Structure 1
Amino acid sequence: MADTFSQIYLQFVFSVKGRQSLIPKENKEELHKYLTGLVQNRKAKMLAVHCMPDHVHIFVGFKPVISISDFVKEIKVESNEFINAKGWTRFKFAWQEGYGVFSYSHSHINSVVNYILNQEEHHRKKSFQEEYKEFLEKFQIPHKSEYLFEFLE
């Protein structure tokens, strides 16, 4: 075979450390653009991105040129540095450890894109914690609820 062919669609979900609402609404579009650049620099295609104040959804056409764990680690580290350099928060910004990654077939692209782009509406009815637990249950991912979220005390 002369080339590598793949069709991998992944949704990444991760939250702000301590589940704090630290992503300013007025900076959301700039962060979307920055995240898109990070994704493209890793040979992936951004299909949808949406930052809520306390978490982010990224949906990509993924190329297997980098491991999934390295991909999300690099995205989180570089976007964390970007947010801190911009001084958008009064405190040091950080993403929570861990993340969710969920795979989809080609036939689900439009519905996942719509879901991600409509996060504001979606979260009027459901909290991020409820949403995340539903993902884990829908994808039959074993988990212990007490280890899902890190809250600041």
Structure 2
Amino acid sequence: MPFIKVWIHFVWSTKNRIPFMHTREIRQTIFTHIKENAKEKGIYIDFINGYTDHVHCLVSLGIDQSMSKIMQLIKGESAFWINKHGICGEKFEWQDEYFAVSVSESVVDRVRNYIRHQEEHHQKKTFAHEYNEFIEKYDFQKFK
């Protein structure tokens, strides 16, 4: 049996960055559901949090899991569930795109802490600003 540990930091936003998750209660309801649903599907979410218009998620990939399949399962099912239960009061959608970056074992605690403090973080910086920083920091524009 192979032994692997590959950490991925996923970030995705609501469609058109609409602040559907405008209260802490809505966010916690959604994040709890995502984590429970992921567990049922064999996806290990170490930590999940976000703000009004986006989500950060630290995942340990399983041996037969791909990033695209994980995002399809998490985003697709959660949007369906949110709409079915009227969590946001209007039609909810996730943006198609997402970020996914590998995380070294040596900085997992730092990433976990960063994800944990999203609400405070976004009192100082918008998601649009953070988005542009991700593009620049990880040099994503060269892949377009």
**TM-score by shorter chain over 0.5:** yes
C-alpha separation in 1, matches of 2:117 and 2:11: 15
- Look up the match of 1:111: 110
Q: How many corresponding residue pairs?
A: 143
Q: Distance in 2 between matches of 1:29 and 1:94?
A: 17
Point out where structure 1 has 5 or more consecutive residues left out of the alignment.
148-153
Partner of 1:45: 44
The normalised TM-score by structure 2 is 0.90
Residue 34 (structure 2) pairs with residue 35 (structure 1): yes
Higher strand proportion: 2
Match of 2:16 among 8, 18, 28: 18
Which whole-Å CA distance do the structure 2 matches of 1:29 and 1:62 have between them?
A: 23
User: One-letter code of the match for 2:100?
Assistant: V
Hey, what does 2:90 align to over in structure 1? 91
Q: Which moved more, 1:62-71 or 1:35-44?
A: 35-44
Measured after TM superposition, the shift of residue 88 of structure 1 is: 2.0
Normalised by the size of structure 1, how large is the TM-score? 0.85
Alpha carbons 1:11, 1:58 under 8 Å: kept: yes
Q: How far did residue 5 of structure 1 move?
A: 1.6
Specify the alignment match of 2:3 in structure 1.
5
Of 126-135 and 112-121, deviating more is: 126-135
Q: Distance in 2 between matches of 1:95 and 1:64?
A: 26
Kindly report structure 1 stretches of 4+ aligned residues shifted beyond 4 Å. none
For residues 142 and 24 of structure 1, the distance between their equivalents in structure 2, rounded to whole angstroms, comes to 30
Deviation of 1:139 (Å): 1.8
Percent identity between the two aligned chains: 33
Is the CA contact 2:11–2:55 (under 8 Å) kept in the aligned structure 1?
A: yes
Counterparts of 1:97 and 1:130, CA distance in 2: 19
Deviation at 1:116, TM superposition (A): 0.4
8 Å Cα contact 1:10/1:62 also seen in 2? yes
In structure 2, how many angstroms separate the alpha carbons of the residues matched to 1:143 and 1:15? 21
Read off the aligned partner of 2:133 and give its amino acid letter: E
Q: CA deviation at 1:24?
A: 4.1
Contact 2:51 2:122 in 1 (8 A): no
2:107 pairs with 1:101: no
Which amino acid is the alignment partner of residue 21 of structure 2?
Answer: I
Name the Cα RMSD after superposition: 1.8
